[in-house]
Structure 1
Amino acid sequence: MKTQEFLNLLESNKDKSLVFEYTPNQYVGANYHITEVKHIKIDSVDCGARTDAWNETIIQLWESPKELDKREYMTTLKALGILNKVGKMKPYDLDSEVKFEYSNASFHTAQLFVNDFDIQGQHLIVKLAVEKTDCKAKDACGVTEAPLTVEAMQGEPCCTPDGNCC
């Protein structure tokens, strides 16, 4: 989901509580805070020696240990207020992908992308998911979608000095 789409989603659901599902049926606690918004510029080179660049908006969620008994979630209106204030200080790239950085005692720190959302009663539930790593240069590296068997690879070098990579 793009940053503009996320802000629009909040804007159109101002009367809802904002709930994050970080893995199926596991929710960020109602004691969460938005503790940081990062405007990330990625400048990369993939394993096929191709360059790429893009921006991301990363919103960090943190559960306050002093508010473990809290039962009411942050409202979308409050989250929108926080994010709008950030946008005035450091403008967003509204076309950038929005991700959420989160962890807890039983879930590793991860940057999660928005997979979907659902409205259940007075809750706007933002469904997050882990993004799997992938080879962006499959064609340049000769990577096939189906894994090669050991027999199919015998006699062929894994990498060559002239650019065969991965």
Structure 2
Amino acid sequence: MKTQELFTILNDHKDKSLLFQYTAGQIVPANYHITEVKHLKIDSVDCGAQMDSWNETIIQLWESPSEIGKTEFMSCFKALGILNKVGEIKAYDLASEVKFEYSNSLFHTAQLFVNDYEIHGNNLMFNLAIAKTDCKAKELCGVVEPAAATANASQCAPDSGCC
């Protein structure tokens, strides 16, 4: 989901409570706060020596230990107010991918992308998911997808031009 789409959805549902499902059946508790917004510029070089760059918006969610047991979730209106205030200080790249950074005692810190969202009565729920790592230079390095892979284990050998 792009940052602009996030703002549009929040704006369209200002009256709703904002929930996040970070893994199947697990919702970020109501004691969460938006504690940081990161504007990242990624400059990368993949294992095929190809350069790439893009921007990301990372919104950090944190569970306040002093509010454990809280039952009322943050409203979309309040979240939008926080995010708009950040935008007044540091402008967003509205075309950038938005991710949510989250962890708790049972879930490792992760940057989660928005898989989709749902409306349940007075709740707007973003369903978050983890992106698996991947080789961006498969074709250049001669990497075959596992379903079609043969028993040849030397496809990305040290001298193949792929790291």
Shorter-chain TM-score bucket reads over 0.9
For residue 85 of structure 1, what is the aligned residue in structure 2?
A: 85
Task: Indicate the RMSD between aligned Cα atoms, in angstroms.
Answer: 1.4
Confirm or deny: 8 A CA contact 2:143 2:156 kept in the other structure: no
Tell me the equivalent position of 1:126.
126
What is residue 110 of structure 1 aligned with on the other side?
Answer: 110
In the alignment, structure 2 segments of 5+ residues that lack a partner are none
Partners of 1:153 and 1:100 lie apart in 2 by 36
After superposition, the C-alpha distances for 1:129-166 in whole angstroms (9 at most, x for unaligned) are 0000100010111001126454x347x77121xx5214
TM-score by length of 2: 0.95
Distance 2:25 2:32 in 1: 17
Compared with structure 1, are the counterparts of its residues 153 and 67 closer, same or farther at alpha carbon in structure 2 (3 Å cutoff)?
Answer: closer
Q: Per-residue deviation at 1:13?
A: 0.2
Whole-Å separation in 2 of the counterparts to 1:144 and 1:73: 46
Matched, 1:165 2:154: no
SS for the counterpart of 1:5 is: helix
Between the two proteins, the alignment pairs up a number of residues equal to: 162
> Could you tell me which residue of structure 1 aligns to residue 67 of structure 2?
67
Q: Distance in 1 between matches of 2:26 and 2:156?
A: 45
1:81/1:157 Cα in 2 relative to 1: closer, same or farther (>3 Å)? closer
2:38 equivalent in structure 1:
38
Runs (5+) with no aligned partner, structure 1: none
